[in-house]
Amino acid sequence: MNIDYIKDYGEVIPFNGAFNLKPKEKTVKKQIKLSKQNDNKVYTSIQELIKKIGLKSGDTISFHHHLRNGDKVTRIILKACEELGINDLKLAISAIFPVHNFIVDFAKKGIVSQIDTNYCVGEVANAITRGLFKKVAIFRTHGGRARAIYAGDLKIDVAFIAASASDEAGNINGIMGKNAFGSIGYAMPDADCAKISVAVSDTMYPYPLSNPSITQDKIDYVLMVDEIGDPNGIKSGTTDITKDPIQLKIAKTTANLIYESGLLKDGFSFQTGAGGISLASAHYVKEIMKEKNIKGSFIMGGITAYLVNLYNDGYFSNIFDVQDFDLEAVKSLRENKKHYEVSSSLYANIHTSSPIVNKLDCVVLGATEVDTNFNTNVITSSNGYIMGGSGGHSDAAAGAKLAIITTNLIRTRKAIVKEKINSITTPGESINALVCEYGVALNDKTLAKILKNSKLKIIDIKDLAKLANNICGVCEFEKSNKKIVAVVEYRDGSVIDVIRQK
Amino acid sequence: MNIDYIKDYGEVIPFNGAFNLKPKEKTVKKQIKLSKQNDNKVYTSIQELIKKIGLKSGDTISFHHHLRNGDKVTRIILKACEELGINDLKLAISAIFPVHNFIVDFAKKGIVSQIDTNYCVGEVANAITRGLFKKVAIFRTHGGRARAIYAGDLKIDVAFIAASASDEAGNINGIMGKNAFGSIGYAMPDADCAKISVAVSDTMYPYPLSNPSITQDKIDYVLMVDEIGDPNGIKSGTTDITKDPIQLKIAKTTANLIYESGLLKDGFSFQTGAGGISLASAHYVKEIMKEKNIKGSFIMGGITAYLVNLYNDGYFSNIFDVQDFDLEAVKSLRENKKHYEVSSSLYANIHTSSPIVNKLDCVVLGATEVDTNFNTNVITSSNGYIMGGSGGHSDAAAGAKLAIITTNLIRTRKAIVKEKINSITTPGESINALVCEYGVALNDKTLAKILKNSKLKIIDIKDLAKLANNICGVCEFEKSNKKIVAVVEYRDGSVIDVIRQK
């Protein structure tokens, strides 16, 4: 990274190590409101509300992604903006799914000019890669988005916060109502810092709403719509354990690695994704805990029925929940006493007194590419097209004592481990080990000593790269000078990479 | 108020109506922290911690008052400051009780130079009145303190937050541990905004603490001490219903007034203090609710066993709790599902999207003096000595649809209602009615119409003042030009009055 300035992003602070950027005292301009006794907050006309709050072209509007591929709120708001002739909007949306493909049209029409997100799949991802948006996209981590909002780096004019339940004063949550989606943790920084916060809901409860996740002091308006979305859409992708024998082997090796590391003992804390290998790893970890009678402390990450069962069966005594991946998880958040909803800042913001990721023993993560320094890509595919994002990847990797990448060495005839990768999302220094079907590659000398006499097959990552190379052929890596279409911001606000047009 | 500037306070914005001061966009300097994986937060040596955080002479340190007359934390910290030669401290403590009398000695020694508080009784109150502190005291309301902290008007260098339970990461609450005191709501703005937040606890729980009220992302250090205080001290003053027949009469009239106003119907919300008349009013309100089968919405205020019983017996379905006045209330906060802990900002901060006080139907309040414009004094006695503070008085009065002052017309041979009062705490415009043993004085034309045909004895407040005057003799009111010892700041940050030296 030797770029000083990126248009429509600003000055670049180059990434210089996971814990080396000391934050400055920030000057945050905060709009403070005057609330009167009988202020009415509830609107049913979107256009009337947008006029009332003075939303205008060039503004930054934010959305959370808790409804994932079932979200209807972003479309409702953008459509109203279109009708009112508002354009050049910056869309700060914590993640983008195929349900948001319509945004491409809004980009073509000039209504949306810039994307600021933590994860992006579908047509919007392709459109960014092809340089279709007027302004460069910004990819952050989940914790990095919270950091940017609190630091004033990401200034939100209006936050539109989908809520499955609201009362007339703006107490809201995501666990009640016909379209309950669970934790609303990603919207908490927005509610704290946006100039104007609008709850968008389809179910009104009598005042006061029980168990509000965001309270009335932080919500300026409540917009009532027919449907905020389809909560079945939160189950995006697979949330079942893989049946693929190679992936099961990787998962089993991963569980053994965790056990041999010495971390898997009473008080163990664990984060895992919802993908096939991740869930299978959780399964094998559970088997060891069962055999050895180990009682864990907390599980974290996108919460699924599988993790809820680990809690219900007593393997872990707490769940920290920043988002839910199925309706069983939503039910658990509603009912289980030690299933806690947490904000993305508490979860992963490096610039707080301490995020929960810092208390993690182990996290199991995925990758689209890994280089021989363990630098990991989870944003682009090996052909350079955007097809994901960090989400909590860099955050959990930096915080956890043991961060493990699990992956097949080769996928769809392409090497995952290689000399050079298209784009760096998470720095290699945060990764302790990589597990593939050929064995375990280590990036941690202390861990290497601990594992010296274990039965694990330890293999040098360079040998893995060679092996993949031999099977797939030389990985062509073209250096591009095309325009920058996305900035990859590390969790501390520095820039770890850029993505160029395809 | 025609004072432009007060030394050691700053520029004066004169009070100009309860809802007329439009807040400016504030620029808040926020120190943002860098947290690493293995940062240790726990200290057992106070001096070591104070050196570590670099607390120095001239700094502002803050404390909450949830342990009320049982607090030991303030003394522990100030003693360590003395030993380290730190002086000229501004003490931002949400309330001061006789247990804090020792502060007078610390003022004489120059260690404490200024008091910033919402309520003050005991020797510190006398010392302020006599001009013993080097700098002018600042009296705020509970909501006003939260406002000042979030707006950056009250800048806290180090917040010392007593917590009856903590874990090693700084998740804290006031409901667990040997010295549980209940809600920790007054400390929430401090934890959000102080440059450095220190939890001070005597009971460490395994990570993660269940039901944290303030989370680890907001606490930088945990100081372990032997005893944070004596929770029996939270029962300061009377929390029993009065047996005085005149006060019972006033309370009964108050309940009738509330009923006749039309507000006492299903969904009714109510705040009342813990004093004799207030609790008796709650009792008579309950009797009417029982007779008419009325189901209330929420009760608020300092929570006592009496209010908890109203919840348990189904008269009210929610409790909003910013502080607890007895151990039964603490138990209820721990156990009852719809007994919610709320921050002072959510409770009463005028410069948020809407504090809960704005949803109040009725509040019953006390007074030391009331003038014929219904301006109310709750800070000084009628001889001008400080003996209390607004607490939530001005906040609830401004927010509630019906704010009632209850008082004997005469107390200890002194008139309470009179032409002129020593000091204004709550503006008359926020008060709808005054109830005394001679009847009901109204300050609300709409209410007057509603009550025209009621059986209540309506009496002009000027006639009440005359009556009191006839009984007690002319109330001498001396205009003083002595130095200003305290600024009375209204909840919006304007100055409603000053208190002069005695």
Which residue among A215, A297, A349 sits closest to B217, beta carbon to beta carbon? Answer: A349
pLDDT tens-digit map of B51-78: 999 999 999 999 999 999 999 999 999 9
Q: How far is B70 from chain A (nearest CA, A)?
A: 29
- Nearest residue to A161 via CA among A219, A233, A235: A219
Quickly state the pLDDT bin for B402 (edges 50, 70, 90): very high
- Does residue B359 register a pLDDT over 70? yes
Contact A28 B23 (CB under 8 A): no
> Residue B33 has what pLDDT?
76
Best of A217, A219, A395 to disrupt the B interface by mutation (most B CBs within 10 Å)?
A217
CA atoms of B203 and A235, how far apart (whole Å): 41
Which residue among A19, A207, A399 sits closest to B297, beta carbon to beta carbon? Answer: A207
- Does residue B476 register a pLDDT over 80? no
| CA dihedral angle for residue B348, residue B399, residue A202, residue A220, rounded to 10 degrees | -60
Contact A30 B26 (CB under 8 A): yes
ipTM of the predicted structure? 0.94
> Residue B477 has what pLDDT?
66
pLDDT tens-digit map of A449-488: 999 999 999 999 999 999 999 998 876 667 788 999 999 9
Q: How far is B439 from chain A (nearest CA, A)?
A: 28
Contact B351 A207 (CB under 8 A): no
Burial of B232 (0-12, 13-18, 19+ CB in 10 A): middle
Q: How far is A212 from chain B (nearest CA, A)?
A: 10
Omega of the bond leading into B208 within 30 degrees of 0 (cis): yes
Beta strands B5-6 and B10-11 are: antiparallel
pLDDT tens-digit map of B148-182: 999 889 999 999 999 999 999 999 999 999 999 99
% residues pLDDT > 90 (chain A): 88
The answer for A243, left when phi > 0, alpha when psi is -120 to 50, beta otherwise, is alpha
Which residue among A21, A32, A218 sits closest to B23, beta carbon to beta carbon? Answer: A32
Q: How far is A340 from chain B (nearest CA, A)?
A: 8
Residue type present at position B93: I
DSSP state of A338: T
Main-chain phi, psi angles of B406, to 5 degrees? -115, 135
| Cβ-based contacts of A24 with chain B (< 8 Å) | 32
Mean of pLDDT values over B192-200: 94
Task: Give all strands of the β-sheet with A316-324 in edge-to-edge order.
Answer: A339-341, A316-324, A296-303, A270-272, A362-365, A402-406, A433-436, A439-442
Quickly state the pLDDT bin for A26 (edges 50, 70, 90): low
> Residue B63 has what pLDDT?
98
Mean of pLDDT values over A401-423: 94
- Does residue A305 register a pLDDT over 70? yes
Which residue among B30, B39, B151 sits closest to A25, beta carbon to beta carbon? Answer: B30
pLDDT tens-digit map of A238-290: 667 888 999 999 999 999 999 999 999 999 999 997 778 888 999 999 999 99
**The two structure tokens encoding residue B459:** 């009496």
Q: A231 in helix, strand or coil?
A: helix
pLDDT tens-digit map of A105-123: 999 999 999 999 999 999 9
Q: A487 in helix, strand or coil?
A: strand
| Cβ-based contacts of B23 with chain A (< 8 Å) | 32-34
> Residue B214 has what pLDDT?
98
> Residue B157 has what pLDDT?
95
Mean of pLDDT values over B416-428: 96
**The two structure tokens encoding residue B439:** 């009847």
Contact A318 B267 (CB under 8 A): no
Q: How far is A458 from chain B (nearest CA, A)?
A: 26
> Residue A30 has what pLDDT?
63
Return the residue of A nearest to B401 by Cα: A37
pLDDT tens-digit map of B315-328: 999 999 999 999 99
Which residue among A25, A32, A215 sits closest to B31, beta carbon to beta carbon? Answer: A25
Q: Dump strand ranges (E) for B360-452.
A: 362-365, 369-371, 376-377, 402-406, 410-411, 414-415, 417-418, 433-436, 439-442
CA atoms of B53 and B245, how far apart (whole Å): 56
Contact B28 A30 (CB under 8 A): yes
- Does residue A167 register a pLDDT over 70? yes
Q: Find how far residue A242's CA is from the centre of its chain.
A: 22
Beta strands B410-411 and A42-43 are: unpaired
**Inter-residue contact A133 to A115 (CB < 8 Å):** yes
Which residue among A25, A37, A320 sits closest to B29, beta carbon to beta carbon? Answer: A25
| Cβ-based contacts of A352 with chain B (< 8 Å) | 33, 35, 217-218
| CA dihedral angle for residue B6, residue B10, residue B14, residue B20, rounded to 10 degrees | -170
Return the residue of B nearest to A319 by Cα: B208
Residues with Cβ < 8 Å from B275, sequence gap 6 or more? B237, B238, B366
Main-chain phi, psi angles of B427, to 5 degrees? -70, 145
| Cβ-based contacts of B197 with chain A (< 8 Å) | 353
% residues pLDDT > 70 (chain B): 97
pLDDT tens-digit map of A198-213: 999 999 999 999 999 9
Q: A446 in helix, strand or coil?
A: helix
Residues with Cβ < 8 Å from A88, sequence gap 6 or more? A57, A58, A110, A111, A113, A134
> Residue A484 has what pLDDT?
97
Return the residue of A nearest to B396 by Cα: A37
Contact B35 A355 (CB under 8 A): yes
Q: How many CB pairs under 8 A join A and B?
A: 179
Q: A250 in helix, strand or coil?
A: helix
| Cβ-based contacts of A206 with chain B (< 8 Å) | 267, 297
**∠ CA B108-B111-B115, rounded to 5°:** 85
Contact A39 B359 (CB under 8 A): no
> Residue A236 has what pLDDT?
62
Return the residue of A nearest to B33 by Cα: A351
Q: A104 in helix, strand or coil?
A: helix
Contact B25 A19 (CB under 8 A): no
Task: Give all strands of the β-sheet with B270-272 in edge-to-edge order.
Answer: B339-341, B316-324, B296-303, B270-272, B362-365, B402-406, B433-436, B439-442
pLDDT tens-digit map of A54-90: 999 999 999 999 999 999 999 999 999 999 999 999 9
Q: Find how far residue A467's CA is from the centre of its chain.
A: 32
**Inter-residue contact B182 to B174 (CB < 8 Å):** yes
Beta strands A196-201 and A172-173 are: unpaired
CA dihedral sign, ordered B359, B456, B275, B430: positive
Return the residue of B nearest to A218 by Cα: B353
Q: How far is A21 from chain B (nearest CA, A)?
A: 8
Count H helices, E strands: chain B?
Answer: 14, 28
pLDDT tens-digit map of B287-320: 999 999 999 999 998 899 999 999 999 999 999 9
Return the residue of B nearest to A320 by Cα: B208
Helices B46-53 and B73-83 cross at an angle (nearest 10°) of: 70
Write down the mean pLDDT value for chain A: 94
Distances (CA, A) of A498 to A9, A151, A386, B191: 11, 22, 12, 37
% residues pLDDT > 90 (chain B): 88
Quickly state the pLDDT bin for A219 (edges 50, 70, 90): very high
Return the residue of A nearest to B18 by Cα: A36
- Nearest residue to B322 via CA among B213, B188, B184, B193: B184
Greatest CA span in chain B, whole angstroms? 73
Secondary structure in 3-state letters for B194-237: CCEEEEEECCECCCCCCCCCECHHHCCEEEECCCCECHHHHCCC
The lowest-confidence range among A360-374, A386-400, B28-42 is B28-42
pLDDT tens-digit map of B210-247: 999 999 999 999 999 999 999 999 986 666 788 899 99
Quickly state the pLDDT bin for A38 (edges 50, 70, 90): confident
Best of B217, B431, B492 to disrupt the A interface by mutation (most A CBs within 10 Å)?
B217
| Cβ-based contacts of A27 with chain B (< 8 Å) | 27-30
Quickly state the pLDDT bin for B1 (edges 50, 70, 90): low
Q: How far is B401 from chain A (nearest CA, A)?
A: 8
% residues pLDDT > 70 (chain A): 97
Distances (CA, A) of A62 to A20, A73, A155, A264: 29, 11, 10, 39
Omega of the bond leading into A208 within 30 degrees of 0 (cis): yes
> Residue A443 has what pLDDT?
98
Q: How many residues are listed for chain A in this entry?
A: 502
